[in-house]
Amino acid sequence: MSYEKVSQAEQIIVGTKQTIKALANSQVKELIVAADADPGVTAKVIRAANEQQVPVTMADSMKKLGKACGIEVGASAVAIIK
């Protein structure tokens, strides 16, 4: 998974709650989920992405994903917006 894709995206949404809302509004082009995130947290957003037929990409690390988003904490899910 290329973290550059996240860092170079024009618009992103960080976090599962906001991502689920964006998926419901058909705004998401791609979903990136950290492989080391709690499956209980990410299962709902992955299911929502699959229902909307949005591609899901796995990233290795929450910490690296958060850094690619420009935040100091880990990110379990990031949506790249259309």
Q: Is the pLDDT of residue 77 over 70?
A: yes
**Per-residue pLDDT, 4:** 84
Q: Is the pLDDT of residue 12 over 60?
A: yes
Q: What percent of the chain has pLDDT over 70?
A: 98
d(CA 71, CA 49): 23
Q: Is the pLDDT of residue 1 over 90?
A: no
Residues 6+ apart with CB under 8 A from 18: 79
Q: CATH fold of 3-81, please?
A: 60s Ribosomal Protein L30; Chain: A; (3.30.1330)
Domain ranges across the chain: 3-81
Output the pTM of the full model: 0.91
d(CA 74, CA 34): 9
Which pLDDT tens digit goes with each residue over 15-43? 999 999 999 999 999 999 999 999 999 99
d(CA 23, CA 13): 11
